[in-house]
Amino acid sequence: MINEPTDLHFLGNYTRDIPVSLNRMMENAYDWEHLPFVHPSSFASIELIDEGGWGWRCKTTLPPAAGGGEQVVELLVDRPNHYWATTVLEGTGEGVQIHTQATQKGADDSRAIEVDVRFYLPQAPETDEQSAIILGYLQAQYKTLYDEDEALMSARQDALDLRKAPSKAAPQTVDLGPEAELHRDKSQPVELSTGRFVVRHHKGEWIAHAAVCPHMLGPLGDADIDEYGVIACPWHAYRFALSDGVEQEGRCGNLPTPPAIRLVDGHLFIGE
Ligand code: FES
Ligand SMILES: [Fe+2]
């Protein structure tokens, strides 16, 4: 059980409805690794100090626009009560605490929650005007953070749902149409009996790779591919060699082997 701090100044809060389950929200709270990649305007980098069922402690750096300072941040989780508290232990904003209560709206396991994010400062600002400015800044920052998290959590839920109910009717081969008419600047999703893939034009040729990341099902369709043919997932920046699917630091399983692509009578085919 984590209590609201009584020795700090309560500045104000930010509340919001989010169309996701409590499971997705709690998973997101524990997920320190996504912070610099999904929330680049709030975090420039992150390094884990310790983690467990209790939460996590990390060293972070702020982006230049936010002053570029360093922080040690701790997040403590009260999982049964869907409550978590973030404390800046050291560095910029030392002593600030942010407590969040997530609450189910509607029936059990429905995908609708509310979050109440409460901001606590070590000391009250000197004037009401200063209070209003700091609160406005934090509310705007948390709106952005939750916009970004809502997109991540919703996409992850969709990917989980699709994985649970793979289309039995999915074909083994798909004709993508006349090659000359295909978009070269955006990827095309393809569902095959062997999984979800994308076809895209890269360095002058058509390639296929997995549509979702083996780590937490992040979207790989438009993910950056570097000059060595390594694709980086936008959620936690795990990096996979397209040649053999291996994650470059061994942090998760491999990308599945993509199906063959071939050109027949001017049409591009993917599959068996
Ligand atoms: S979902 Fe985590 S790196 Fe892709
Ligand atoms: Fe997040």
- Going from the Cα of 138 to the center of ligand 1, the distance in angstroms, rounded, reads 27
Structure tokens at 36: 């610099």
Nearest bound ligand to the CA of residue 249: 1
Atom from ligand 1 closest to the CA of residue 216? 1
Output the pLDDT for position 169.
Answer: 78
Position 152 pLDDT exceeds 90: yes
Q: Where are the domains of the chain?
A: 9-164, 173-271
Axis-axis angle for helices 128-164, 22-30 (nearest 10):
110
For the entire predicted model, the pTM comes to 0.93
**Amino acid identity for residue 252 in this structure:** C
Domain 9-164 -> CATH class: alpha beta
Confidence of residue 149 (pLDDT cuts 50, 70, 90): very high
Ligand 1 in reach of 77 Cβ (< 6 A): no
| Fold of the domain built from segment(s) 173-271 | Rieske Iron-sulfur Protein (2.102.10)
Output the pLDDT for position 106.
Answer: 80
Cα–Cα dist 263/271, whole Å: 12
What ranges in the chain are assigned the alpha helix state H? 22-30, 35-38, 128-164
Output the pLDDT for position 122.
Answer: 97
Ligand 1 in reach of 216 Cβ (< 6 A): yes
Position 163 pLDDT exceeds 90: no
Position 165 pLDDT exceeds 80: no
3-state SS assignment for residue 64: helix
Output the pLDDT for position 38.
Answer: 98
CA atoms within 13 A on the CB side of 194: 17
Output the pLDDT for position 254.
Answer: 97
**By CB neighbour count within 10 A (0-12 exposed, 13-18 middle, 19+ buried), where does 20 fall?**
buried
Question: What average pLDDT is seen over the chain?
Answer: 95
Position 108 pLDDT exceeds 80: no
Output the pLDDT for position 110.
Answer: 82
Share of residues in the chain with pLDDT > 70 (%): 99
**Of 77 and 67, which is predicted with more confidence?**
77
Atom from ligand 1 closest to the CA of residue 213? 4
Confidence of residue 166 (pLDDT cuts 50, 70, 90): low
* Beta-carbon count within 10 A of 107 CB: 7
Which of 30, 34, 156, 233 has most ligand 1 atoms within 8 Å of CB, for mutation? Answer: 233
Q: Which of 71-80, 107-116, 181-190, 221-230 has the lowest mean pLDDT?
A: 107-116
Which of 215, 220, 230 has most ligand 1 atoms within 8 Å of CB, for mutation? Answer: 215
